[in-house]
Structure 1
Amino acid sequence: MLSSDDLDLLVTRGFVVVEGLLPDYLLTALVADCQALDADDALRPAAVGRGEGRTRDASLRGDAIRWIDPHPEVPVRGEFLARLDALRIELNRQLMLGLDHFEAHYAIYPPGAGYVRHVDRFRDDDARTVSFAAYLNPDWSEDDGGALRLYLPGGEVDIVPRLGTCALFLSASIEHEVLTTQRPRMSIAGWFRRRPLLPLKVVPG
């Protein structure tokens, strides 16, 4: 779970970077699962936008993804989702965010790929509240590229995607990008979501 200091940082500056949030055995299993899905050609090129504006353009976003759903033959997925759901409950208890559920996908960026600067919340959908990233890259160095760059009022912050590093940030306000990677880069991207705030309907009296 997050410490009180971690929660304070998420509230006061909009992001927090955490080591040790996921245990080593679980990280090892997630790496193996992601690699197995990639070997089976089970990841698909990611898109940007939504609805009629949804498009696949590797110059904007170059990763391939696979959504993480519970599977009886792959217990690591269920354990990961259970841990993040427990974190959702803790965020609600401590910060009263009204988070309704958590969703996540694996992402693999091939060498030369990245993801241009953007925010995670859609203009017509306010459900995404806190973004989450977990990195699955053993023996990663800054020279390998692929950092998550956050654009903050005080300047840029780069997060190196080393195995076990996790980041949480506010979906609506933190612009970010994935810098060009020099090696295949594995991660989990996720979102803690609340129920959308729907407009009130006026019923004739």
Structure 2
Amino acid sequence: MILTDAYDVGANQEAAIMKDNGEFQPAQQYRKEGDDMFRDETARDDQTVWLDAAIDYGHESKQHLNQVLGMISQGLLQDLSKIIHLNGKVEYQLDYYHPQNARYERHRDAFPVSDREDFTQRRVTAIVYLNPDWVQGDGGELRIFGKNDEADQDIAPIASRMVVYLSGVADHAVIATSQDRYALTAWIR
């Protein structure tokens, strides 16, 4: 499934409406059972809202975001399951970075896992960007770190771009942004 320009703009607008309606919360306020009690709560400036594909699919007001969720849950998950041992559980998070230099310091989304039966760790991260008006210089790039702890690549958060990586392997950060930045992230177990 390929996103069209209409869905890029539509998903961005739906996310902006959710922000304006107060649906996002500062990410550091979220706590789940099993969270790291030593987590640095100053490492990130973003706001998030957790999505449930089964529930959100029925919302007419989020039809464009629902298409992105469908692309991940129906298309990407099936394709990845052919090459990686997955249990099919997916967490979805819509993320907003405000334009006053919001960033997220270097981190990983999970611990490295080689046990095929361990489904407690995230295995694959997929990020879909929802920024149709992004231009170079806006910031908000995803920085992937390579060997020797050096930045290996900066990936621009351009609308419809999807980045997929192994959750427990890729150290990454979000560079400070000077424009509103939206992304839908899926963590697949």
SS of aligned partner of 1:108: strand
Q: 1:45 aligns with which of 8, 13, 26?
A: 26
| Aligned counterparts of 1:76 and 1:174: Cα–Cα separation in 2 | 29
Which residue in 1 is equivalent to 2:59?
72
Give the Cα separation in 1 of the matches to 2:8 and 2:87.
25
Distance change in 2, residues 1:163/1:80 (3 Å): closer
Which 5+ residue runs of structure 1 have no aligned equivalent? 2-20, 194-205
Return closer, same or farther for 1:98/1:51 CA change in 2, 3 Å cut-off. closer
**Are the structure 2 counterparts of residues 137 and 80 from structure 1 closer, same or farther at C-alpha, using a change threshold of 3 Å?**
closer
Rounded to whole Å, the distance in 1 between the matches of 2:155 and 2:172 is 11
SS at match of 2:64: helix
> Percent same amino acid at aligned positions?
27
Distance 1:79 1:163, change over 3 A: closer
TM-score normalised by L of structure 2: 0.79
In 1, the alpha carbon distance for the partners of 2:138 and 2:20 equals 22
Map of 2:102 onto structure 1: 113
Q: TM-score, normalised by structure 1?
A: 0.73
Question: Which is worse superposed, 101-110 or 64-73?
Answer: 64-73
1: distance between equivalents of 2:91 and 2:14? 17
Correspondence 1:140 to 2:128:
no
Q: Which amino acid counterpart does residue 24 of structure 1 have in structure 2? A: D
- Number of equivalent positions: 172
> 1:160: how far off?
0.8
Larger Rg: 1
Summarize the alignment of residues 1-205 of structure 1 with structure 2, pairs less than 5 Å apart. Answer: 21-47=2-28, 50-51=34-35, 53=37, 57=41, 59-69=42-52, 70=56, 71-73=58-60, 74-86=62-74, 87-93=76-82, 95-110=83-98, 111-122=100-111, 126-153=120-147, 155=150, 156-193=152-189
Cα gap change, 1:53 to 1:135, in 2 (>3 Å): same
Distance 2:10 2:38 in 1: 32
RMSD: 2.5
1:31-74 CA deviation, whole Å, 9 max, x = no partner? 121011011011000028853617683x3110001112324333
Tell me: CA distance 1:174–1:55, structure 2 relative to 1, closer, same or farther (3 Å). closer
Cα distance in 2, alignment partners of residues 112 and 85 from structure 1? 32
Change (3 A) 1:77 1:56: farther
For residue 200 of structure 1, what is the aligned residue in structure 2? none
